[in-house]
């Protein structure tokens, strides 16, 4: 099975047109290539492999996460269940793994092209989530704010 | 007999026709030889090798093209308003076009000077001149935005500009028209010789910020300054200016400024001038001129009216300025990559004089002067001359250089480019242009390190080269391969405006530094809404400030009420996107100015004055997503003095209102 997925990925990669090297405009982690082997699809695709959550939640991260949310996310995501442009955030930490959430934030182009769950959301919302150039550290803060929004203490 | 005569006549006509054709530039089929198409083909998705930064002449803009494809990428508005993106219309950019004459939303942009370090392109800034209302602009090559404009006082029209010294210490600005300056300016035109003066401004360029400042002005006798080049290497401390109308004519210059056999190249020892300035020899004089600077952090342009300028009078100092006779109204004045040779191009001459910097220095040391003009020593022609290129063509204008010791001179009257060797002064090759070439450009051609490979002709006439579009035809450029001994025509490409001078620079010096978006965290615009939470509407007297956000695909707020006829409404639109190539636009019905385009992370302001009551739609003009057509809103305008309260919202559905009043 693993081999099969590997071949499938290889095939899709080799079908895609070769982009000129100079278009690699973001040499940082926000645009990592699809991995050859997706070990755990529920974690999404991207640089974030393993997130350790602490209890109680980290308040410093929560306040930083809130500030980033208000600047870069709130135009499309409400904090309750309402979907406006994108889905509301209520309950997102219960239904998605932390790694999946952070990969969706930091590696959105690849996720929308290759991750089955992300593609389902695109079919629902019909607007591609924009790359808001959020760093991995900032995405971690947003995740903590989401945990707080979901009632974690 | 009659038949014979007719035959003879026919033959004569054919003969004449053939002779005429062989004189005229050959048709395109003959001119373009095999392999031309493959040399200019840049496959879809591939990049060009060079940026070509091309002046737009009377459109006041700069065109950015790729070479060798000739594809147009961008038009950068510099001295002209640009309703396409709001430049010169938005509240932020309006001060950029402020001058001592008030708001001047247009100019005639002739020449480009790219910044250099050690005489070599560094890819930081492009400078451009305004020929009409004298100004110099600086374009930042990271953003391709006009970031600074400085006006030139005591100038009648800034043509001899913005040529640059080898470490970008100064860009220069020489007046085309001498005029009366100082306290006494209301004088008879016929008092030219007595009252009219020329000025050359040396504008310093800050090494880090690029900010410009008029370091000093040289006062000169009343003549017309045309073009210029800085020295380099051994001549690095000098600058050379072509000047004509040494007859000091003030009417029918076509005839009266073409009387003398020789005009001048003016050689300026700017290092010496700097010393005199440091020694306090400059004289501060009152002068009013605008200095406009864009702050990229706030997106705001500030216009400051300057009060004085420092002047140096070379007739008092003696060893700063020298004239060198140059035949027949010199136009181009170009220094070769070594800095040893200065090529003057008399536009009415049938030869090209090449002057030697070493000989000029010797002549000065030996007092080898033939006299004075306006109190400035005139070096003997023969003493400064290295040699002449004999019978090169008719009407030489400009010269650029390659990396192999060759020069390329454009000939307006004979419509051709002539390649000649700088050392031997012998003509190597000539090739027709279609038609009437003005400036020409070799990538790196004016620098100490030409990149070579191509020469581009900027033509004044296109006539039959393109599909006609009525009486006004496209302007055009032509690309020639110069990698071999013989030049080869590869491509015609149309240009916007009227191209004068242009420079070409390897893409690798600019492409990696290109800004992709502005970080929203760093947006310091006083009316920014950094997130929808900050979106709001505030009234201050009759001013209504709308702090609006834009993101795919809605504007916040999108319902606004409580605006009244007589209000000034300011839409401060912040684009919340943080990705490349996602601008949003903003337009509102009845706007008498323009739309605005807002780059990701940036804030731009459109002022709108409603003249009647009603509900006015506004929307995004830059197609941004599948739901772009949904990116819209309404603003309600009530009569002056109405009691409709100010309110605003997005996504709020109210119970059906019963009516405004």
Nearest CA to B263 among B249, B274, B275, B284? B249
Residue B362 has pLDDT above 90, yes or no: yes
Instruction: State whether B385 and B498 are in the same domain.
Output: yes
Q: DSSP assignment, residue B437?
A: E
What is the per-residue pLDDT for B34?
A: 72
Tokens found for residue B483: 């990698």
Mapped onto helix, strand or coil, the DSSP state of residue B561 is strand
Instruction: State whether B158 and B209 are in the same domain.
Output: yes
- Of the three residues B462, B488, B513, the one that is the final residue of a domain is B513
Candidate from A71, A126, A128 with C-beta closest to B520? A71
Helices marked H in B380-525: 381-384
What is the per-residue pLDDT for B132?
A: 97
How long, in residues, is chain A? 153
Residue B267 has pLDDT above 60, yes or no: yes
Q: What is the mean pLDDT of chain B?
A: 94
Q: Which residues of A touch B532 (CB under 8 A)?
A: 70, 74-75
CATH number at residue B483: 2.130.10.10
Residue A126 to residue B531, Cβ atoms within 8 A: no
Instruction: State whether B506 and B527 are in the same domain.
Output: no
Q: Which residues of A touch B42 (CB under 8 A)?
A: none
- For B523, nearest residue in chain A (alpha carbons): A71
Q: Exposure string (b/e) for B191-204, b if CB count within 10 Å is 16 or more?
A: ebeebbbbbbbbbb
pLDDT tens-digit readout, B15-51: 443 333 334 444 555 557 678 999 999 999 999 999 9
- The rounded distance, in Å, linking the Cα atoms of A129 and B104 is 43
Residue A54 has pLDDT above 60, yes or no: yes
- The rounded distance, in Å, linking the Cα atoms of B499 and B616 is 41
Q: Exposure string (b/e) for B377-416, b if CB count within 10 Å is 16 or more?
A: bbbebebbbbeebeebbebbbbbbbbeeebbbbbbbebbb
The answer to whether residue B323 sits within a structural domain is yes
- For B46, nearest residue in chain A (alpha carbons): A20
pLDDT tens-digit readout, B380-437: 999 999 999 999 999 999 999 999 999 999 999 999 999 999 999 999 999 999 999 9
Which residues does B150 contact at the CB level (< 8 Å), separation at least 6? B135, B136, B203, B212, B213, B214, B289, B290, B291, B292
What is the per-residue pLDDT for B71?
A: 98
pLDDT tens-digit readout, B136-146: 999 999 999 99
The answer to whether residue B394 sits within a structural domain is yes
Residue B212 has pLDDT above 50, yes or no: yes
Opening angle at CA A63, ends A59 and A66, nearest 5: 135
Residue A72 to residue B531, Cβ atoms within 8 A: yes
| C-alpha distance from B161 to closest chain A C-alpha (Å) | 35
Question: How many contacts, defined by CB atoms under 8 Å, are there between A and B?
Answer: 63
What is the per-residue pLDDT for A38?
A: 61
Tokens found for residue B538: 């505030």
Q: CA B399: distance to chain centroid? A: 18
Would you place residue B349 in the very low, low, confident or very high pLDDT band (cuts 50, 70, 90)? confident
- The rounded distance, in Å, linking the Cα atoms of B183 and B164 is 31
Do A41 and A120 meet the contact criterion of CB atoms below 8 Å apart? no
Residue range A2-16+26-43+52-149, CATH number: 1.10.760.10
What are the strands, taking DSSP E only, across B442-535? 454-459, 475-481, 488-495, 502-506
Candidate from A22, A25, A72 with C-beta closest to B47? A22
The answer to whether residue B1 sits within a structural domain is no
The answer to whether residue B107 sits within a structural domain is yes
Instruction: State whether B397 and B532 are in the same domain.
Output: no
CATH number at residue B615: 2.60.40.420
Is the CA virtual torsion B384, B387, B392, B394 positive or negative?
positive
What is the per-residue pLDDT for A84?
A: 87
Residue B228 has pLDDT above 50, yes or no: yes
Mutation for testing the B interface, residue in A78, A130, A134 having most B CBs under 10 Å = A130
Q: Helices H, strands E: what count in chain B? A: 9, 46
What is the per-residue pLDDT for B658?
A: 56
What is the per-residue pLDDT for B501?
A: 98
Q: Which residues of A touch B521 (CB under 8 A)?
A: 71
Mutation for testing the A interface, residue in B549, B551, B584 having most A CBs under 10 Å = B551
Tokens found for residue A6: 């590997």
Instruction: State whether B172 and B218 are in the same domain.
Output: yes
What is the per-residue pLDDT for B27?
A: 52
Nearest CA to B225 among B284, B175, B168? B175
pLDDT tens-digit readout, B152-171: 999 999 999 999 999 999 99
What is the per-residue pLDDT for A37?
A: 55
- Secondary element (H or E) of residue B431: strand B427-432
- For residues B349 and B215, the model is more confident at B215
Do B51 and B504 meet the contact criterion of CB atoms below 8 Å apart? yes
Mean pLDDT value of segment A49-60: 96
- The rounded distance, in Å, linking the Cα atoms of B91 and B523 is 16
Instruction: State whether B229 and B371 are in the same domain.
Output: yes
Would you place residue A26 in the very low, low, confident or very high pLDDT band (cuts 50, 70, 90)? very low
Instruction: State whether B236 and B369 are in the same domain.
Output: yes
Candidate from B512, B549, B625 with C-beta closest to A127? B625
Is the CA virtual torsion B180, B185, B190, B191 positive or negative?
negative
Instruction: State whether B214 and B323 are in the same domain.
Output: yes
ipTM of the complex: 0.77
Tell me which residue range forms the domain holding B331: 57-185+193-513
The answer to whether residue B658 sits within a structural domain is no
Would you place residue A17 in the very low, low, confident or very high pLDDT band (cuts 50, 70, 90)? very low
Residue A12 has pLDDT above 60, yes or no: no
What is the per-residue pLDDT for B355?
A: 98
What is the per-residue pLDDT for A13?
A: 40
pLDDT tens-digit readout, B609-636: 999 999 999 999 999 888 899 999 999 9
What is the per-residue pLDDT for A82?
A: 93
Q: DSSP assignment, residue A75?
A: T
pTM: 0.90
Tokens found for residue B287: 């002068």
- The rounded distance, in Å, linking the Cα atoms of B91 and B607 is 7
Candidate from A71, A126, A134 with C-beta closest to B626? A126
The answer to whether residue B295 sits within a structural domain is yes
Do B249 and B256 meet the contact criterion of CB atoms below 8 Å apart? yes
pLDDT tens-digit readout, B62-90: 999 999 999 999 999 999 999 999 999 99
Residue B627 to residue A126, Cβ atoms within 8 A: yes
- Of the three residues B445, B479, B513, the one that is the final residue of a domain is B513
Q: Helices H, strands E: what count in chain A? A: 7, 0
pLDDT tens-digit readout, A70-99: 999 999 999 999 998 899 999 999 999 999
Nearest CA to B392 among B412, B376, B377? B412
Residue A1 has pLDDT above 50, yes or no: no
- For A20, nearest residue in chain B (alpha carbons): B46
| C-alpha distance from B263 to closest chain A C-alpha (Å) | 51
Q: Which residues of B touch A74 (CB under 8 A)?
A: 531-533
- For residues B658 and A21, the model is more confident at B658
The answer to whether residue B436 sits within a structural domain is yes
Q: Cα–Cα distances in Å, from A110 out to A10, A114, B256, B475, B562? A: 15, 6, 71, 44, 45
Name the residue ranges covered by the structural domains of chain A.
2-16+26-43+52-149
Mapped onto helix, strand or coil, the DSSP state of residue B126 is strand
Residue B533 to residue A70, Cβ atoms within 8 A: yes
Instruction: State whether B497 and B603 are in the same domain.
Output: no
- Of the three residues B461, B491, B513, the one that is the final residue of a domain is B513
Q: Which of B319-323, B348-352, B477-481 has the lowest mean pLDDT?
A: B348-352
What is the per-residue pLDDT for A126?
A: 87
The answer to whether residue B363 sits within a structural domain is yes
Residue B552 to residue A133, Cβ atoms within 8 A: no
| Count of domains observed in chain B | 2
Q: What's the distance, Cα to Cα, between the start and end of chain B in Å?
A: 102
């Amino acid at each position: 099975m693993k081999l099969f997925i590997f071949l499938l990925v290889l095939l899709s990669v080799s079908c895609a047109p070769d982009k000129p090297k100079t278009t690699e405009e973001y040499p940082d982690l926000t645009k990592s290539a699809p991995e050859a082997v997706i070990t755990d699809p529920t974690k999404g695709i991207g640089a974030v492999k393993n997130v350790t959550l602490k209890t109680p939640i980290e308040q410093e991260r929560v306040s930083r996460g809130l500030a980033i949310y208000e600047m870069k996310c709130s135009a499309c995501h409400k904090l309750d269940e309402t979907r406006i442009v994108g889905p509301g955030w209520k309950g997102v930490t219960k239904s998605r793994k932390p790694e999946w959430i952070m990969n969706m934030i930091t590696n959105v182009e690849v996720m929308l092209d290759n991750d089955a769950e992300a593609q389902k959301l695109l079919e629902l919302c019909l607007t591609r989530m924009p790359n808001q150039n959020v760093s991995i550290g900032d995405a971690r803060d947003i995740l903590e704010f989401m945990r707080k929004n979901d009632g974690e203490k | 007999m009659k038949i014979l005569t007719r035959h003879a006549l026919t033959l004569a006509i054919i003969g004449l026709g053939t002779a005429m054709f062989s004189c005229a530039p050959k048709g395109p089929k003959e001119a373009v030889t095999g392999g031309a198409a493959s040399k200019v083909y840049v496959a879809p998705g591939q990049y060009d090798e060079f940026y070509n930064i091309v002046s737009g002449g009377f459109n006041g803009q700069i065109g950015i093209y790729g070479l060798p494809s000739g594809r147009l990428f961008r038009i950068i508005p510099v001295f002209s308003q640009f309703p396409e993106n709001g430049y010169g219309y938005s509240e932020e950019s309006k001060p950029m076009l402020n001058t001592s004459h008030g708001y001047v939303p247009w100019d005639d942009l002739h020449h480009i000077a790219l910044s250099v370090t050690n005489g070599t392109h560094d890819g930081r800034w492009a400078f451009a001149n305004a020929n009409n209302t004298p100004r110099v602009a600086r374009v930042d090559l990271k953003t391709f935005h006009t970031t600074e404009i400085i006006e030139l006082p005591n100038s009648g029209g800034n043509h001899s500009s913005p040529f640059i010294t080898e470490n970008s210490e100064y860009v220069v600005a020489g007046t085309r028209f001498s005029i009366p300056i100082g306290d006494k300016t209301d004088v008879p035109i016929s008092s030219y010789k007595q009252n009219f003066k020329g000025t050359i401004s040396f504008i310093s360029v800050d090494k880090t910020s690029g900010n410009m400042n008029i370091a000093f002005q040289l006062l000169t006798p009343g003549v017309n300054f045309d073009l210029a080049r800085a020295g380099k290497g051994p001549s690095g401390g000098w600058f050379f200016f072509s000047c004509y109308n040494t007859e000091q004519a003030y009417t029918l210059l076509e005839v009266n400024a073409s009387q003398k056999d020789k005009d001048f190249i003016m050689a300026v020892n700017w290092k010496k001038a700097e010393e005199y300035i440091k020694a306090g020899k400059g004289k501060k004089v009152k002068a009013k001129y605008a200095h406009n600077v864009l702050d990229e952090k706030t997106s705001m342009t500030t216009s400051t009216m300057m009060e004085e300028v420092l002047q140096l009078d070379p007739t008092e100092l003696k060893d700063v300025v020298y004239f060198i006779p140059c035949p027949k109204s010199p136009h181009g004045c170009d220094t070769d990559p070594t800095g040893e040779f200065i090529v003057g191009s008399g536009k009415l001459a049938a030869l090209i004089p090449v002057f030697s910097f070493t000989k000029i220095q010797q002549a000065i040391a030996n007092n080898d002067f033939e006299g004075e003009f306006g109190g400035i020593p005139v070096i003997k022609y023969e003493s400064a001359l290295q040699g002449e290129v004999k019978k090169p063509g008719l009407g030489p204008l400009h010269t650029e250089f390659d990396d192999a010791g060759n020069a390329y001179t454009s000939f307006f009257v004979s419509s051709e480019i002539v390649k000649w060797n700088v050392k031997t002064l012998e003509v190597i090759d000539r090739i027709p242009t279609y038609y009437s070439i003005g400036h020409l450009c070799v990538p790196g051609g004016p620098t100490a390190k030409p990149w070579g490979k191509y020469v581009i002709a900027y033509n004044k006439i296109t006539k039959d080269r393109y599909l006609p579009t009525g009486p006004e035809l496209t302007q055009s450029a032509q690309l020639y391969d110069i990698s071999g001994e013989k030049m080869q025509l590869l491509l015609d490409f149309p240009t916007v405006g009227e191209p004068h001078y242009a420079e070409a620079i390897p893409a690798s010096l600019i492409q990696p530094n290109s800004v992709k978006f502005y970080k929203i965290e760093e947006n310091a615009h006083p009316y920014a809404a950094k997130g929808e939470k900050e979106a709001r509407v505030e009234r201050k007297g009759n001013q209504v400030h709308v702090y609006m956000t834009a993101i795919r695909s809605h504007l916040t707020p999108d319902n606004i009420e409580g605006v009244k006829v007589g209000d000034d409404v300011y839409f401060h639109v912040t684009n919340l996107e943080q990705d490349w190539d996602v601008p949003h636009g903003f337009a509102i019905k009845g706007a008498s100015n323009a739309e605005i385009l807002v780059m990701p992370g940036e804030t731009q302001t459109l002022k709108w004055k409603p003249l009647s009551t009603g509900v006015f739609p506004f929307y995004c003009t830059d197609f941004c997503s599948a739901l772009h057509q949904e990116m819209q809103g309404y603003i309600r305008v009530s009569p002056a003095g109405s009691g409709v309260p100010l309110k605003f919202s997005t996504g709020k559905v109210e119970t059906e209102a019963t009516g405004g009043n």
